[in-house]
Amino acid sequence: MTLPETTVVFSSGDRTTFEDLIASGPLALIFLRHLNCPFCADQVERLRDHADLHAIFVGMVDRLDADAFMRKLRSQHRMICDPEAKLYNAFGLSRGTIGQLIGPRVVVKGVAQMAKGRFPNVPKGDARQMPGVFVINQRGVVVLEHRCRDAADNVDASVIREALSRAVVQDSGGPDDQGGHQSDRGVGIGVDGV
């Protein structure tokens, strides 16, 4: 998979292309479900203390809602506004099933989020949209895909950092440099197609 050739808009109103975003190094795109999802807040907070990561969130909201959300969570990362979910579709992120959205694992993790003071609220975005994380190397090739197995499936900063580091190695002529990618679908990391 390669990046779509499109202009993206940040919550700040700035516009750029993916080509410009990856010019300075590998990039992690972190797709969120909807902004009143407690698991989305948890995902943003997991990266709050890792401002050095070249990671950008993607949300299905307008600039004002995205900016308010990121400020509330004190995140230094940027957010791409994708209210029509065009990027979600381009990256093949689907809408969740009932089990993915309110299955037993999600309920248990939801109770843990509520114990931290994070409660679900009226969705801002598509409440059925599934999240995911994609790491893209400087050639625009997706080198890691994590399509979340359920609504509560968040990715730790250490996994994103490692994937970004591997993408740099690949850019310098590593073994996966021919467009191969790694896939992490919530059951461990494995290699797909080389």
pLDDT in tens, 105-159: 888 888 888 888 877 776 677 888 999 999 999 988 899 999 999 988 989 999 9
- Structural domain count of the chain: 1
Average the pLDDT over 38-56 and give the result: 92
- Is 0.75 surpassed by the pTM of this model? yes
Confirm whether 189 is domain-assigned.
Answer: no
Confirm whether 190 is domain-assigned.
Answer: no
Confirm whether 180 is domain-assigned.
Answer: no
Phi, psi of 157 (to 5 degrees): -60, -35
Confirm whether 31 is domain-assigned.
Answer: yes
Confirm whether 47 is domain-assigned.
Answer: yes
CATH number of the domain at 100, please. 3.40.30.10
Contact residues for 95 (Cβ-Cβ < 8 A; gap 6+): 126, 128, 129, 130
Query: Tell me, what amino acid is at 57?
Result: F
Question: Between these two residues, 125 and 104, which has the higher pLDDT value?
Answer: 104
Confirm whether 91 is domain-assigned.
Answer: yes
Ramachandran area for residue 7 (φ above 0: left; ψ -120 to 50: alpha; else beta): beta
Domain that holds residue 37: 7-172
- Per-residue confidence at 165, pLDDT binned at 50, 70, 90? very high
CA angle 29, 90, 180 (to 5 degrees): 70
Confirm whether 52 is domain-assigned.
Answer: yes
Confirm whether 187 is domain-assigned.
Answer: no
